[in-house]
């Protein structure tokens, strides 16, 4: 079977690497543990056009963690790279809506846009099933086969209102009211169906390859995203230029399903979300908690090494604090209701920033104190609609790897460069070496004068140039309070994940009136830089699970070695070996009570990197026989040698 690769955009689906078997320590083969001189290689920096989530990525159905270009590579187009594909998807949405209304005359249409990998359309109608999708697809094929023309018509607002009213389409009337420009455009499919639409479309339905279209799923969606409005039936579909592209996409999608962190989290007993506690609230099970502990421990050590002071701050604060910060004015819909405590209103925190500012304000500062760097793994709470919750990727309570830098104007560049270096070091440690970098500049509405915006933006540009990273400029895409750099990591399947961000803030220092005393004993306002590397621990853990498909590298694996007796007669020696491994900081456990082949299969299913087999010979010679999940049988050796080789591998974790 020929090997082929797919370049596409699946930025938010639950996909993970096809093969993350490099860098498992023992996954290299026992003799190829990393030497102390091995260094991580520098990352590969990639850029995309304005819409970062629509970048191209590579996927190889034959597992290869570092796929190289090959003659059989198939590159899937995106909506940005192929206008024909965009037109096909948009027209497919209209054809689907037409098919639905032919089969279900009482269905009311709403909106049906093209999206990243296809299209969807929302209907106010009776609940649908997967069986209904087959009927709808069959009707779509009939419409496509008739090769009906797509005809654009311009009408007056009054005429559009008359026609929509005649069809009794209330949602279309609401859409018409929201359209500000005249004339109103309508697209007809033959003389059988029409819709309010600005286009573009293919010339006729025959330009759609019916074998390159598939209806994928049904979901509920509130009209206008408002939970107070009707729940609609949303049908998702995918459409491509030809059948070969569809097959490649479906293969990619199937791999995504197999790597879904929600399934792996349950299978490997890493985490859960308990209905009895509420949606979007993560329970870290012992194995998942161990991985989190390793991540947090590494994060804290590297930050202290880089000159950050660690903070721990409360999860709640007086509501007045959030008035000062502006969150109650601009972010209230994402905050939980306030609670009354002794006649004062308190608020669960949605952000950590105001807390770090209060720590800064707790004492006077001189210009000699700068830069001041503080960091916290701070848990925050944000209200999300239940329908938007998604495993670890969209939750209601999560822990940010938050840090803030207070510095002088002329220190911005060096501090940004320091954050870039730190970001690179951390991401390489977890196996991410390809990034997309975007610099967002001043929007139309912004706080702060022109000089400081220009200085801060130049500092960001200079730091990126000094780092040697290629980046795209998103002109006007910055926050109202300052310019920012966003870094998206590319996982082993080539998907882009927004994790790291660096933001200069002119707003909060002013709102909280933070100052320092300069060399002339005058009060000045410092520059504040927000930054996160991992984003949130929950989301990053989900990305890691999918990146490695649950096969964590040896240094991250919650259980590094499982000791397996051939019979229970060796159990006592197994406990001795396990205790010795634990004494040297190796995460090990004994498993017994089944025949050895089943013990090995269970360890494989649980993705344990190393299996230590103990029989009577090993007991007699005080050795162990080691089996690697990926290296197979690695031989018999003294326990001390086994420990040394594990420590050598785990002390030198590098990108995979």
Q: What is the pLDDT of residues 279-318, one digit of tens each?
A: 999 999 999 999 999 999 999 999 999 999 999 999 999 9
Do 328 and 420 belong together in one domain? yes
Angle at 134 between CA 131 and CA 140, to 5 degrees: 145
Burial 353-381 (b: 16+ CB within 10 A, else e): bbbbbebbeeeebeeeebbbbbbbbbbbb
Residues of the chain with pLDDT > 70, as a percent, come to 88
Check whether residue 235 and residue 383 sit in a common domain. Answer: no
| 376 and 512 fall within a common domain | yes
Q: Is residue 24 part of a domain?
A: no
Same domain, 130 and 210: yes
Stronger pLDDT, 447 or 640, i.e. the higher one? 640
Give the number of domains in the chain: 3
In a domain, residue 543? The reply is yes
Q: What is the DSSP letter of 479?
A: B
Domain with residue 618: its CATH number is: 3.40.50.800
Range of weakest confidence among 207-211, 412-416, 493-497, 559-563:
493-497
Collapsing DSSP to helix, strand or coil, 561 comes out as strand
Catalytic residues: 353, 382, 400, 402, 404, 484, 530
Task: Report the CATH number at residue 337.
Answer: 3.30.930.10
The mean pLDDT of 411-415, rounded to a whole number, is: 94
Regarding pTM above 0.75, the answer is yes
Structural tokens at position 263? 């399934």
Domain membership of residue 399 as a residue range = 271-548
One domain for residues 609 and 506: no
Other C-beta atoms lying within 10 Å of the C-beta of residue 625:
19
570 and 621 Cβ atoms separated by less than 8 Å: no
Do residue 501 and residue 590 come from a single domain?
Answer: no
Domain membership flag for residue 513: yes
Same domain, 574 and 544: no
Question: Phi first, then psi: what are they for 199, rounded to 5°?
Answer: 85, -170
In a domain, 251, yes or no: yes
The last residue of a domain, from among 548, 571, 603 = 548
Residue 177 lies in a domain: yes
Query: CA dist 384 to 3, 21, 394, Å?
Result: 42, 36, 8
| Structural domain includes residue 325 | yes
Query: Does residue 628 share a domain with residue 571?
Result: yes
Domain shared by 531 and 586, yes or no: no
Question: Does residue 27 register a pLDDT over 90?
Answer: no
Report the range of poorest mean pLDDT among 15-19, 171-175, 275-279, 425-429. Answer: 15-19
Mean pLDDT of 596-622: 95
Of 231, 256, 281, the last residue of a domain is 256
Alpha-carbon distance of 562 to 69, in angstroms, equals 38
For all residues of the chain together, what is the average pLDDT? 87
* Residue 440 maps to a domain: yes
Judgement on whether residues 367 and 480 belong to the same structural domain of the protein = yes
Q: Taking a C-beta distance cutoff of 8 angstroms, is the pair 609, 554 a contact?
A: yes
Same domain, 290 and 199: no
> Looking at 196, 222, 256, which one is the last position of a domain?
256
Work out the number of other CB atoms within 10 angstroms of the CB of residue 100.
24
Has residue 22 been placed in a domain? no
E strand segments, 190-292: 193-196, 213-222, 231-239, 271-273, 282-284
What's the pLDDT tens digit per position in 360-375?
999 999 999 999 999 9
Same domain assignment for residues 290 and 144:
no
């Amino acid at each position: 079977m020929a090997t082929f690769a797919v370049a596409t955009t699946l930025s938010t689906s639950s996909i993970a690497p096809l093969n993350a078997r490099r860098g498992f320590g023992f996954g290299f083969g026992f003799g190829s543990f990393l030497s102390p001189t091995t260094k991580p290689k520098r990352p590969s920096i990639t850029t995309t056009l304005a819409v970062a989530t629509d970048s191209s990525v590579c996927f190889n159905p034959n597992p290869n963690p570092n796929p190289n270009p090959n003659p059989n590579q198939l590159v899937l187009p995106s909506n940005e790279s192929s206008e024909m594909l965009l037109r096909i998807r948009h027209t497919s949405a209209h054809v689907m809506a037409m098919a639905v209304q032919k089969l279900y005359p009482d269905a009311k249409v709403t909106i049906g846009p093209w999206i990243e990998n296809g299209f969807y359309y929302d209907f106010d109608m009776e609940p649908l099933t997967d069986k209904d999708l087959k009927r709808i697809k069959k009707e779509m094929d009939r419409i496509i086969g008739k090769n009906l023309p797509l005809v654009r018509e311009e009408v007056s607002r009054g005429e559009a209102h008359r026609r929509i009213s005649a069809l009794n389409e209330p949602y279309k009337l609401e859409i018409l009211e929201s359209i500000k420009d005249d004339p109103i455009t309508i697209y007809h499919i033959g003389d059988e169906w029409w819709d309010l639409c600005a286009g573009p479309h293919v010339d006729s339905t025959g330009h759609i390859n019916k074998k390159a279209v598939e209806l994928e799923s049904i979901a509920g969606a509130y009209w206008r995203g408002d939970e107070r409005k009707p729940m609609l039936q949303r049908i998702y579909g995918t459409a491509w230029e030809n059948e070969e592209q569809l097959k490649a996409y479906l293969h990619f999608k199937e791999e995504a399903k197999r790597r879904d962190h929600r399934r792996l989290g349950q299978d490997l007993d890493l985490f859960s979300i308990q209905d009895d506690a509420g949606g979007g609230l993560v329970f870290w099970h012992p194995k998942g908690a161990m991985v989190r502990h390793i991540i947090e421990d590494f994060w804290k050590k590297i930050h202290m090494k880089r000159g950050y002071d660690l903070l721990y701050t409360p999860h709640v604060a007086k509501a007045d604090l959030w008035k000062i910060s502006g969150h109650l004015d601009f972010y209230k819909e994402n905050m939980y209701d306030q609670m009354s405590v002794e006649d004062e209103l308190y608020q669960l925190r949605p952000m950590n920033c105001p807390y770090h500012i209060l720590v800064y304000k707790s004492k006077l500062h001189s210009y000699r104190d700068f830069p001041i760097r503080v960091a916290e793994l701070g848990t925050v709470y944000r209200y999300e609609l239940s329908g938007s919750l998604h495993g670890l990727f969209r939750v209601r309570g999560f822990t940010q790897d938050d840090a803030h830098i207070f510095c002088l104007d002329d220190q911005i560049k060096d501090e940004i460069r320091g954050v870039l270096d730190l970001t690179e070091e951390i991401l390489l440690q977890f196996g991410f070496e390809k990034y997309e970098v975007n610099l967002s500049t001043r929007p139309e509405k912004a706080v702060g004068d022109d000089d400081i915006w220009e200085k801060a933006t130049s500092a960001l540009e200079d730091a990126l140039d000094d780092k040697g990273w290629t980046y795209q400029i998103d002109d006007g895409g910055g926050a109202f309070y300052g310019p920012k750099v966003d870094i998206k990591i590319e996982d082993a399947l080539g998907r882009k994940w927004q994790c790291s961000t660096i933001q200069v803030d002119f707003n909060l220092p002013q709102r909280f009136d933070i100052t320092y005393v300069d060399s002339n004993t005058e009060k000045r306002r410092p520059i504040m830089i927000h930054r996160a590397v991992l984003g949130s621990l929950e989301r990053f853990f989900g990305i890691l699970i999918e990146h490695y498909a649950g096969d964590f590298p040896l240094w991250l694996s919650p259980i590094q070695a499982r000791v397996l007796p051939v019979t229970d007669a060796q159990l006592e020696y197994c406990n001795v070996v396990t205790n010795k491994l634990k004494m040297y900081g190796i995460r090990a456990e004994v498993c017994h009570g089944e025949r050895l082949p089943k013990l090995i299969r269970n360890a494989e299913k649980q993705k344990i990197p190393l299996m230590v087999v103990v029989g009577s010979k090993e007991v007699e010679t005080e050795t162990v026989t080691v089996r690697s999940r990926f290296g197979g049988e690695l031989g018999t050796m003294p326990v001390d040698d086994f420990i040394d080789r594990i420590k050598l591998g785990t002390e030198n974790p590098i990108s995979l």
